Every structure is written in C-alpha cells, then in structure tokens.
Amino acid sequence: MKSDIEIASQAQMKPIRYIAEKLSLTEDDWEPYGHYKAKLSVDLLEKLSDRPSGKVILTTSINPTPAGEGKSTVTVGLGQALNHLNKKAIIALREPSLGPTMGIKGGAAGGGYAQVIPMDEINLHFTGDIHAITSANNALAAFIDNHIQHGNEMHIDPRRIGWKRVMDINDRALREVVVGLGGPGKGIPRQDGFNITVASELMAILCLAANLQDMKRRIGKIVIGYTYEKQPVNVEQLGFEGALTLLLKDAIKPNLVQTLENTPALIHGGPFANIAHGCNSVMATKLASKLGDYVVTEAGFGADLGAEKFLNIKTRAAGLEPDAVVIVATIRALKMHGGLKKDQLNSQDLEALNKGMENLKKHIETIEQFQLPFIVAVNKFPADTQEEIDFLTKWCEKHSVEVSVVDVFAEGGQGGLDLAGKVVRLCEAKTTSLHYSYELDDPIELKINKIAKKIYGAGGVEFSSKASKQMVQMEQLGYGNLPVCMAKTQYSLSDRPEKLGRPKDFTITVKEFHPSVGAGFIVALTGDVMTMPGLPKYPAALNMDITEEGVIKGLF
C-alpha cells in the first residue's frame, strides 16, 4: 500500500472555494489561505445562530498503545461515510503540533484513505494558529520579566511565576532552565521552564472561547503568578489583554479544509489532552453543527482523558452535547492491553485479546455513565484474523453493545458505511441526555474523587500535602466552582503508564494544582505528566525532505 503522503499528494483536491460554496458560504464568510485552506469569519457563528444545530458525534478510544488505534482515521472515515449516505457531514478535528510531527509521529491528519488534506500543510505550519499562540504566550512571559526588571510595581514574586514560555517543538533541554543570567541589564535570574505550545493556557482559552471578546475576557483573567503577599496577579492587572487578543485575532478563526473524498473538515485548536482538555475549538464544533447535519469530532487520547474532559468541560462551555459516541478499538491494541509486546501482535492470540477486552469494557461503562448512545468501532488492521474479529463482535453482541468493523484506512468512506448507518440510527433514537460526572459546586476534592472512581475505576485519591494546601487556597480565591482538568498519563486508566488493561484497587495521587482561570478550569496534576516532550534518538525529521521537483518526503 502507498504511504500517507503519497496518497495525500495524489488526491483530487478541490479548490477550497468549491468546498466553501458547497457549504453555502458567501464571499464575506471566508478568506483563502492558499488554494486549499480557508479561514472562516469570526462573526460567522453569530450570523448562523438561528439555524438548527446538527447532530454531534464524539469519537473516543480505549487507552492508546504503541500498536495504534487510529481514532483520527476513524473520525475522518466516518465523516466520509456519512456523505456516502447523503448525510451532510462535517469533520471537526484538532490542529497537529509540530513537536510530535518532527519527533515520533511524523504527522497527525488521519491515515490511508481517511485523511484530511493538504496533509503536508496541515502538519507543518497550517494557517499559523499555533505560531500565533507561541508568540502571544512568549510575549506575555517577556512582559512579566520586563515588569519586574523595570521596578516591579505589582510586587510579583519571581519565585511564584506560573506562566511558562512555550515552543512548538519537543525540546527536553528546555524543561528546566534558569533565565535572566548575565547581570543587571539582563533581567532577574530565576528558575523557569518551557512547555510545548499546545500545553499553553492560551491554547485552551482559544478552544473554549465563545467569540473574540470572550477570548479577551478570558485572557484578562489568566493568573500569571502571585505577589510577595501571595495574591494572584492576572493579565488584566498588567494591561496586556488587548495586545494578546490582537495577536490571536486570526488564530481564533476556524480553518476549513477537506478530506481525500472532499468532505469538509474544520481543523481548529489543539490543546494537549493531559494538561489541557484535548479537544478542538468550541467555535469550530458549533460552527460545524450549524453548517452540517452531522459533526464528527474527536477528543484526545482514551475516553478516561479526552472524552471525560470533552463531556465535563467542553460541553459545559459550549452548551452542546454529543448525540452519539464512537469508541475506537483495534485488535492489536487490545492484545497489548492483554499483555502482549509490540512484536507479538502479528499472530492470532484470542487469550490476550480476551484479557485486553477489560480495557474496552471500562470505557464502555464510562460512556454508559454519561448516558450517551454509543457504538464500538473496530478499526481493522491487515494482521487481524477473522477469528479475532468474530471474537470481538460476538463479545459485543453478548453484552448488547453496538459494534461495527471499519476499514476506512484501506477503503475510505466506503469502509465505514456500516458504522455510519448505525451511528445515524443511534443519533435518531437518542432519548437520554448527558449526565455529568460531577456538579460544578462539588468541592474540588469531591470532583476529583468522582472522576477517579467513576471514570478511572480507582479505589481512592490521595493528595500531596502541597496539593491539599493548594485546594484550600483555590477555594479561598474563588476558583472552587471551576471544573477540574485532570492531567494524567494517557496510557493507563491509573496514573502509572505501565498498568495496561483494567487495573483495579489503585489510588490516584494528585501532586499539585495549577489554576487555569482564563481557560476556566483547575488542572490537577497526577503521576509524572510531561508538558514538554522529548525527541527519540532518530527523530522523524531525519527522513523529511523536499526534492527539486517539490516532492515532499517523510510525513506520514
């Protein structure tokens, strides 16, 4: 089979004008960025507010493994398949970060015949949104150190600055740094560190903002640190919310592209799914629901992280709820959850598969708790045997769980027709409504206990002494009613990445909190959560190239 970049570069792309016209957009509603990308007007959502909203389908998955689950691929394939059924479907995805692209992943735009295109541009700088966030984030950091340098009127305690600089690259050497060295003309020395851009609170804000002015309001509320008197200092007090909003005025406009089958796709915002909520922007998802009859959207990592935050955080900010949930699983990944190593996955192993089903079962129970209709999508890989697939589908039938085997990677939308048909019926038959895991006025400790027990299946939660103190402080500061954004490893239901399958009787340890007041949530950090990834010994970048004829290599 051809590589992703080969398939993508041989695609019959339509000019973006054609996609925009298919969505009945007028000239004022969009701006071209090259011939195959567009930004939609920041006012479009307001303009369409009277339209009825289409159905929202959320794609999530089991806990990710190195075997690959293909959640984005299924999301794109399902969107394409819905169009085969003459449903007007739009895909809403996150923007890929350059860090993982240059490092391990080599790209993140679906795969095979279920990709969004132009794949190379989406994976590289796209329309510049992430770069705008990097600029705004680092401008704020410079403004803070500059304020201290020029007399520190606000009494900011340099030891209590929470606002970190960012880069959209995996650079472990920047995790812990000392800045401001070199004497009085070069700032005040202090310990600092860099996050990857997609972990910036500004990214979360852009994704949760209702519109430009709401973004400005949220930016003003960002707590950048504390004074020597331990009072929070926010951006509004420093006076930079206008400049930062100006820097993000185009980044907030949703981006329109297409899939290999010319299905419209909005790709906008890409917050990290550990320190942030891991979903594409509220504006893009809502806009997609106004422009189409069906929106297929995705939340980061497994249902314990991405879907939990989509459902408890994003739906609250957006005022929307999914009409159906798709839980993506692969035979390979389930076998890894059942104990196999990555090099053992190519031969049939029903015992490992059976054991690994426990991971899927937990995520099914989780979605049931939210009282949402759902279906399991088995994303087919070449080495899967018919017996393994039969085992999985029979298991589902036995447990009265809807299931569909898809092969959108090899067949595009055609490979997801069964799934699409079943999803349409699920949406139409929906009678329940979203049941949150916690109430906003639950105390912070109770919120976290509810998430840990209901969603992760934990026995309990422990709080470090630092975290316990911070909980009291945050409730005193009035942040107690915000939702909690859990920062936890994506690999396990627990906070220990090596515990695959369905761990039992474990405790979640909350080490510390970080209030993201602008984004509107409190981050609870568990285990060893990395907010600046590192590169492997041989980064994907080593294989990247562009030839004299303009042929691009090494993206996948």
Binding-site residues for ATP, please? 65-72
Is residue 21 involved in binding a copy of itself (CB under 8 A)?
no
C-beta of 52 vs 151, nearer to a copy of itself: 151
Candidates 154, 210, 477, 535: give the one binding a copy of itself (CB under 8 A): 535
Rounded CA-CA distance 118/9 in Å is 8
> Which positions from 35 through 64 interact with a copy of itself, judged by CB under 8 A?
35, 39, 42
Is residue 172 involved in binding a copy of itself (CB under 8 A)?
yes
Binding residues: 65-72
In terms of C-beta distances under 8 Å and separation of at least 24 residues, what long-range contacts does 49-54 make, across chains too? 49/290, 51/290, 53/286, 53/289, 53/290, 53/320, 54/88, 54/90, 54/288, 54/289, 54/290, 54/291, 54/292, 54/293, 54/294, 54/295
On the CB side of 446, CA atoms within 13 Å amount to 11
Candidates 24, 50, 86, 182: give the one binding a copy of itself (CB under 8 A): 182
Cα 218 to Cα 8, 239, 477, 518: the distances in Å are 38, 13, 17, 4
As measured in angstroms, the least distance from the Cβ of 340 to a copy of itself is 27
Is residue 176 involved in binding a copy of itself (CB under 8 A)?
yes
Start-to-end CA distance of the chain, whole Å, equals 13
Give the helix/strand (H/E) hosting 165: strand 165-167
Contact between 284 and 269 under an 8 Å Cβ cutoff? The reply is yes
C-beta of 434 vs 544, nearer to a copy of itself: 544
As measured in angstroms, the least distance from the Cβ of 527 to a copy of itself is 15
Is residue 548 involved in binding a copy of itself (CB under 8 A)?
yes
Residue 72, both tokens: 């984005």
Is residue 180 involved in binding a copy of itself (CB under 8 A)?
yes
C-beta of 74 vs 247, nearer to a copy of itself: 247
Contact between 461 and 273 under an 8 Å Cβ cutoff? The reply is no
Q: Any residues with CB less than 8 A from the CB of 147 and at least 6 apart, and which?
A: 153, 154, 156, 238
8-state DSSP, 15: P
C-beta of 190 vs 454, nearer to a copy of itself: 190
Strands 165-167 and 194-196: parallel
As measured in angstroms, the least distance from the Cβ of 29 to a copy of itself is 12
Q: Any residues with CB less than 8 A from the CB of 314 and at least 6 apart, and which?
A: 207, 208, 277, 279, 282, 285, 299
C-beta of 185 vs 382, nearer to a copy of itself: 185
| Strand locations in 346-495 (E) | 374-379, 403-406, 460-463, 484-487
As measured in angstroms, the least distance from the Cβ of 179 to a copy of itself is 5
As measured in angstroms, the least distance from the Cβ of 36 to a copy of itself is 9
Candidates 50, 52, 185, 229: give the one binding a copy of itself (CB under 8 A): 185
Rounded CA-CA distance 178/493 in Å is 35
Rounded CA-CA distance 543/533 in Å is 20
Q: Any residues with CB less than 8 A from the CB of 344 and at least 6 apart, and which?
A: 335
Contact between 270 and 151 under an 8 Å Cβ cutoff? The reply is no
Helix-helix angle 350-369:386-398, to 10 degrees: 40
Stretch that binds a copy of itself, among 89-97, 177-185, 426-434, 471-479 (CB under 8 A): 177-185
As measured in angstroms, the least distance from the Cβ of 266 to a copy of itself is 18
C-beta of 52 vs 182, nearer to a copy of itself: 182
Rounded CA-CA distance 9/16 in Å is 16
As measured in angstroms, the least distance from the Cβ of 168 to a copy of itself is 7
Rounded CA-CA distance 338/360 in Å is 11
Candidates 9, 33, 317, 516: give the one binding a copy of itself (CB under 8 A): 33
3-class SS of residue 55: strand
Stretch that binds a copy of itself, among 175-183, 376-384, 424-432, 476-484 (CB under 8 A): 175-183
Stretch that binds a copy of itself, among 59-67, 110-118, 182-190, 437-445 (CB under 8 A): 182-190
Stretch that binds a copy of itself, among 200-208, 238-246, 294-302, 363-371 (CB under 8 A): 238-246
Rounded CA-CA distance 517/206 in Å is 13
Is residue 85 involved in binding a copy of itself (CB under 8 A)?
no
As measured in angstroms, the least distance from the Cβ of 323 to a copy of itself is 33
C-beta of 217 vs 425, nearer to a copy of itself: 217
Question: Nearest CA to 234 among 223, 242, 250, 243?
Answer: 223
As measured in angstroms, the least distance from the Cβ of 473 to a copy of itself is 26
Residues 131-170: x/- map of binding to a copy of itself (CB under 8 A)?
xx-xx--xx-xxx-xx--xxx-------------x-xxxx
Stretch that binds a copy of itself, among 3-11, 333-341, 387-395, 530-538 (CB under 8 A): 530-538
Strands 264-267 and 55-61: unpaired
Stretch that binds a copy of itself, among 450-458, 475-483, 506-514, 539-547 (CB under 8 A): 539-547
> Which positions from 242 through 301 interact with a copy of itself, judged by CB under 8 A?
242-243, 245-247, 249-250
> Which positions from 197 through 236 interact with a copy of itself, judged by CB under 8 A?
212-213, 216
Question: Nearest CA to 222 among 471, 531, 516?
Answer: 516
C-beta of 175 vs 422, nearer to a copy of itself: 175
> Which positions from 105 through 134 interact with a copy of itself, judged by CB under 8 A?
121, 124-125, 128, 131-132, 134
Phi, psi of 316 (to 5 degrees): -65, -40
Is residue 545 involved in binding a copy of itself (CB under 8 A)?
yes
Candidates 1, 429, 472, 542: give the one binding a copy of itself (CB under 8 A): 542
Is residue 34 involved in binding a copy of itself (CB under 8 A)?
yes
Is residue 32 involved in binding a copy of itself (CB under 8 A)?
yes
# residues contacting a copy of itself (CB under 8 A): 77
Residue 309, both tokens: 């935050």
C-beta of 52 vs 185, nearer to a copy of itself: 185
